[in-house]
Amino acid sequence: MTITVKYFATFCLETNFTQQEELTIEEDTTVIELIELLTARYGTGFEKRLFTAEKELDPLCWIIVNQQRLKEKNDFQLKLNPGDTISFSPPMLMGG
Amino acid sequence: MTKESYGWQGRILWVDLTTEEISTTPLDKELREKFLGQSGINAKLLYDNLEPGVDPLSPENHLIFGVGPLTGTLAPCSGRFTVTSKSPLTNAFGDSNCGGHWGPELKYAGYDHIVITGKAKRPVFLWINDDKIELKDASKLWGKTTNETEDQIKEELEDEKVQVASIGPAGENLVNFAAIICNYSRAAGRTGMGAVMGSKNLKAIAVRGTNRLTVAQPQEFSATVSDSEESILTDPLYEISSTFGTPAIMRMAQSLGFLPTKNFQESTFAGADKLSGERLLEKYVTRQKGCFNCPVSCNRYYEVTEGEYEGTTGEGPEYENLGAFGSKCGNDNLPSVLKSNDLANKLGLDTISTGTVIGWAMELFQRGILTTADTDDLDLEWGNHQAIIKLIEKIAYREGLGDILAYGALQASKKIGDSAEDYVIHIKGMEYPSVDVRGTKGMALGFAVSPRGADHLKALPLYEVAPEVYQEDIKKELGIEVGEEYWKKYETKPELIAWHEDWHCIVDSLGLCKLEGIALKPLRPCHFTELLATATGWEITEEELRTIGKRIWNLERLFNAREGFTRQDDLPPARILNEPISTGPSKGETLGQDKFETMLDQYYKLRGWTAQGIPSKETLKELGLEVE
């Protein structure tokens, strides 16, 4: 199945400025499995931006599947669906 | 050495351009203790010295430059100065804050404020060389761009270290949103301060200062500076600010559905990725540029090395510039935006008003209110970047349609007639920045009640969209519990906005940069009291300091009340107030007149203002602002 992955700001520093890409992944791939795939693709720097030293999700990282933000570790077991959009971003700011 | 010698330099420079009289007066202790410095004392000097009803472009208007007690010290991000006057764009209170290196140089020359009145008989520039002050002939500089002016003044004075704040052709030609530019790209952009300067035949102010600047408690000040710098350097958002600057906001605005597109007809833009901070950094940024004593250095140099705009170089742009010349005009050509940004800086135009006025003209073209017969055959189709660049020049030189647009969208709409005014997105006559505030209720309130018109910087509640980053600070400092999608809510927004307004009055009066002070978390009120105490010897509590911020805010409001502004002038235009966002993630979001006015009532009550938005006698008495 195909999904869209978006990388914002500091995450773009890990993807060599790829802002957005279509990825073909296996059915029932979970969010954490996608993160593992992206870490293999872009290096451990990608993973380090997501998790603290204690392997908790860094509260300053936003992972958004479609319009829904994932905040708990359990959310990472969410299975992705064809056509989903997943975004990796630092906290979003407005007004500058 | 007395307390008066620390932090502030203790002198106001008065320059009457009509009589060419130049004098200095002491900066009173009472003035400092009630209004602190920079924007606060500027506001007080304007209020006390300007008669109501004065034409902003007449010799009677006052143009006031000011620095704060921390400007030019070792305090981080202390390179700011403020220019204050009655605005020709709004006929209301006008001021504009600027970074770079000019402010510290004025401080080293020995002055906290300059008050300029009158009108010179011929073009002049003011040369401040410590205690030697001269009005020098600027006839050969008239017509020059801001960067040419800066270079030629340095050459004439034979000193590369001279700091120059100048106007370009736009200021000379009295474009109502002309800017004052220093260091080639740092702008006192909003509210048309450059036009006021042009109306006085004042091309530039060149400053060289060699005086010492002393602080009250050097060791303690140094420790507080170190602590403040540590807060900035370890802030979680430091990397984003330092690497991308404000352009990182472009794709975030798109993602949230707050990116004004085609003059606010839409709130997402298909070309946002092409205008992004990420694309800018990847393709065009050559190196960083910092203001005076800034550990963040959020500004950047850029260069376009191929294509139609090959050879374009410049500095910036900010997110606001990308929105103004980009999405608001339906333009996804980033090199053309970089060209527009550089051109606006050189011609001395406020990029926000310029891009927004052009976007408005494009909507009039879309609707047939303007045709090629009105535009000198320019095709104002959305995204026509060649036309955008041509219009920037026409505005600055007041040619053809540019002569009308130079008044600003609201004043221009009255000259164009038809239904042109219906599509002006403004408050008090100043054009909106690049935030569709229908989705962010606090920002909508902040834009509306700002004394200088539609303005993101007086309140700048960056907290609102990412509250979890700051939720502990918000709870501790404001007593507000935030929840999911806080930006959509009306509740607690009057408190959020009032708190930000008060503290940003303090940041702007101390001489610091508000992106690092309050807005982006690193510097908190405790840093301000400690920096102020150790720099000046003035021990003050956070509550007392905030009261000064409230006093400044009320004084600016009072200025506008004296000029006849009321509640009606705090209402957003119909599109923002009543039309739902038509596209994107925030589709359906709207302010709603009833809900907005209820929020406005709550804000007025919190402020101690009447239902018409006028500070009550009791509030003024409480703040020591009693007037006739």
Please name which of B93, B39, B98, B43 lies closest in space to residue B451, comparing C-alpha atoms.
B93
How far does B248 lie from chain A, in Å, by closest CA? 6
Instruction: Report residue B311: phi and psi, to 5°.
Output: 100, -10
CATH homologous superfamily of A2-89 = Beta-grasp domain (3.10.20.30)
Residue carrying the six token digits 């135009």: B349
Q: Could A93 and B281 be called an inter-chain contact, meaning their C-beta atoms sit closer than 8 Å?
A: no
Of B237, B244, B256, the CB nearest to A94: B256
B213-256 pLDDT tens trace? 999 999 999 999 999 999 999 988 899 999 999 999 999 999 99
* Beta-carbon contacts below 8 Å between A and B: 92
Chain B residues with CB under 8 Å of A96 CB are: 246, 249, 318-320, 456, 462, 515
Please name which of A1, A8, A6, A3 lies closest in space to residue A90, comparing C-alpha atoms.
A8
Chain B residues with CB under 8 Å of A90 CB are: 237, 240
Q: Could A90 and B240 be called an inter-chain contact, meaning their C-beta atoms sit closer than 8 Å?
A: yes
Q: Tell me what percent of chain A is helix, strand and coil, each rounded to the nearest 5.
A: 30, 30, 40
ipTM of the complex: 0.95
Chain B residues with CB under 8 Å of A6 CB are: 251, 255
The DSSP H or E segment spanning B361 is helix B351-366
Of A10, A64, A67, the CB nearest to B240: A10
* Three-state DSSP state, A57: strand
Q: What is the mean pLDDT of each run of 10 residues along chain B (628 residues)?
A: 73 98 96 97 98 98 98 97 98 98 98 98 98 98 98 98 98 98 96 98 98 95 96 90 94 94 97 98 95 94 98 96 98 98 98 98 98 97 98 98 98 97 98 95 97 94 77 82 86 95 97 84 91 97 98 98 98 96 91 97 98 97 85
* Residue ranges covered by each domain of chain A: 2-89
B424-479 pLDDT tens trace? 999 999 999 999 999 999 999 999 999 999 999 999 888 788 777 777 777 888 88
Which one-letter amino acid corresponds to residue A22? E
Token duo for residue A93: 């700011």
How far does B258 lie from chain A, in Å, by closest CA? 8
Query: Residue B415, class by beta-carbon neighbours within 10 Å (0-12 exposed, 13-18 middle, 19+ buried)?
Result: exposed
Chain B residues with CB under 8 Å of A20 CB are: 273
**What are the helix and strand counts (H, E) for chain A?**
3, 5
Angle between helices B38-49 and B493-510 (to 10 degrees): 90
pLDDT score of B464: 85
How far does B351 lie from chain A, in Å, by closest CA? 14
Q: Could A94 and B282 be called an inter-chain contact, meaning their C-beta atoms sit closer than 8 Å?
A: no
Q: Could B465 and A19 be called an inter-chain contact, meaning their C-beta atoms sit closer than 8 Å?
A: no
pLDDT-derived band at A72, boundaries 50, 70, 90:
confident
How far does B465 lie from chain A, in Å, by closest CA? 6
Token duo for residue B176: 């109502």
Report whether B299 contacts B288 (CB < 8 A): yes
**Per residue, what are the HEC states of B455-515?**
CCCCCCCHHHCCHHHHHHHHHHHHCCCCCCCHHHCCCCHHHHHHHHHHHHHHHHHHCCCCC
Tell me how far apart the terminal alpha carbons of chain A are, to the nearest angstrom. 38
Q: Could A94 and B435 be called an inter-chain contact, meaning their C-beta atoms sit closer than 8 Å?
A: yes
Of B253, B277, B440, the CB nearest to A9: B277
Q: Is the dihedral of CA B318, B320, B325, B327 positive or negative?
A: positive
Of A12, A60, A91, the CB nearest to B278: A12
Which one-letter amino acid corresponds to residue B456? H
- B/e letters for B141-164, b = 16+ CB within 10 Å, e = fewer, are bbebbbbebbebbbebbeeeebbb
pLDDT score of B2: 46
Of B273, B282, B465, the CB nearest to A93: B465
How far does B610 lie from chain A, in Å, by closest CA? 29
How far does A94 lie from chain B, in Å, by closest CA? 6
Distance, CA of B300 to CA of B302 (rounded, Å): 6
CB of B249 within 8 Å of any CB in chain A? yes
CB of B253 within 8 Å of any CB in chain A? yes
- Going along chain B from its start, the domains and CATH numbers come out as 3-208 (3.60.9.10), 247-424 (1.10.569.10), 441-622 (1.10.599.10)
Chain B residues with CB under 8 Å of A89 CB are: 252, 255
How far does B587 lie from chain A, in Å, by closest CA? 13
Angle between helices B542-562 and B525-536 (to 10 degrees): 100
Report whether B357 contacts B287 (CB < 8 A): no
